[in-house]
Amino acid sequence: MFYHQKGIRSWIHISAAPWSDGVVVTFEDVSARKRVEQELQAKILDIEQFNRAMIGREERILEMKAEVNQLCSRLAIPKDYKVDSLSDEN
């Protein structure tokens, strides 16, 4: 849980367990771990956004290669590109 009282701002992990005829409660400051988790989540979002942009880019390249091939056909010249998969360079 996030604790924000009396100038303290921390993520605290609280656990309770039975002990003899009572209960033991522990409090652990996990702020550093939570900060790293948030940084990693932000980086994952950046990578996912980049991946979506690159997939769109590759699809557009294939579309442009197909257009070039159509123009070549109209001009009765050999097609420049194979457009079978994303890995085809030409």
Please state the pTM of the whole predicted model: 0.52
pLDDT of residue 88: 45
Choose between 46 and 89: higher pLDDT. Answer: 46
As a whole number, mean pLDDT of residues 27-52 equals 95
As a whole number, mean pLDDT of residues 58-87 equals 81
- Residue 11 falls inside a structural domain: yes
Are 46 and 52 in contact, with CB atoms under 8 Å apart?
A: no
- Residue 79 falls inside a structural domain: no
| Amino acid identity, position 61 | I
Are 88 and 81 in contact, with CB atoms under 8 Å apart?
A: yes
- Residue 84 falls inside a structural domain: no
Q: Which domain holds residue 31?
A: 2-74
- Residue 90 falls inside a structural domain: no
**Choice among 3-17, 33-47, 48-62 with the minimum mean pLDDT:** 48-62
- Residue 42 falls inside a structural domain: yes
Total number of domains constituting the chain: 1
